[in-house]
Copies of this chain bind each other. A is one copy, B any other.
């Protein structure tokens, strides 16, 4: 455990001089610098980041708390993409990423407040999009750097956030389905208490209305982002002449469940029924038939959020503003023209 003063002693300078050569941003004569570096190398010195953090009041770290107990956590590609995006920009900016877990949506707030309050990170990325927990309100009270992944409630005008155009994207998917001749289209959302799912529902409704298509309430269902949720949705709504000819699912896992239910019933996709998922998970391309999916750029969303956050930290300002990124429908083999009727 060698410190700055060991190096100073060996190099015959004051500890503050050693500090100066390591912090880099002060003028030091070339010979002292070299003496110090030599001494440091000989002693295998590396400055203690914690001590530095305490002194400069910055940790060079941003944090995220993930609901690690959520079942689909690593089945779904959402969090891996988020973490990958964050890692890219923290790495490039010489920041570190601190990851905390949480057991519930309420706990997510607790954990976030703790990381921020105890100053373990300079800023934080928050992913909660729950409607029943006022994450944003509780966090905005602290005036600490915070950027949201997902659009916050409208009343929080000052929050910084990055999101996909959920409403428009889903609308576009439904328009595409309508354009392929479908008239009975189902919307299988994830968790209805979630903002993104509400936005997508609205996109669905707008597209249906614009096409003058009546919506049978049975066509709207929720699968909570689970494979079996998609499966069950089909069980519930596939009967009689009101059975949908196309399904839009708010993630790929549910779309896979839908495909399974359809296969069990001997229904061929896309000849009889079309299915479109969301997120373009790695497996989408590998299924057969390969799954058409709305590719949401979560990796880029996370990277953008990290950029905004780190920039705000470095400028010493509170992050503001928002960015909306485009998603892209990847047409594969599970969607096509409507042949029924």
Interface residues, chain A, CB within 8 Å of chain B?
46-51, 53-54, 59, 61, 66, 68-69, 73-75, 77, 79-81, 83-84, 87-88, 90-91, 96-103, 114-115, 117-120, 227, 256, 260, 263, 281-283, 286-288, 299
Contact = CB atoms under 8 A, between A and B. Distances in A.
Question: Taking the full assembly, how many copies of this chain does it contain?
Answer: 2
B227 A286 contact: yes
Contacts of A66: 87
B50 A68 contact: no
Given A68-B88, A73-B84, A91-B101, A119 B287 contact: no
Contacts of A61: 98
Contact of A50 (B77, B101, B119, B281): B119
Contacts of A282: 74-75, 283
Contacts of A227: 286
A99 B101 contact: no
A154 to B, nearest CB: 27
A275 to B, nearest CB: 13
B101 A98 contact: no
A271 to B, nearest CB: 16
Residue among A81, A102, A283 with max Cβ neighbours from chain B (10 Å): A283
28 contacts: A46-B117, A49-B118, A50-B53, A54-B54, A68-B84, A68-B88, A69-B88, A73-B80, A73-B84, A74-B83, A74-B84, A79-B80, A83-B99, A87-B101, A88-B101, A91-B101, A91-B103, A96-B98, A96-B115, A97-B98, A97-B99, A99-B99, A256-B286, A263-B288, A282-B283, A283-B283, A286-B287, A287-B288
A49 B120 contact: yes
Contacts of A49: 118-120
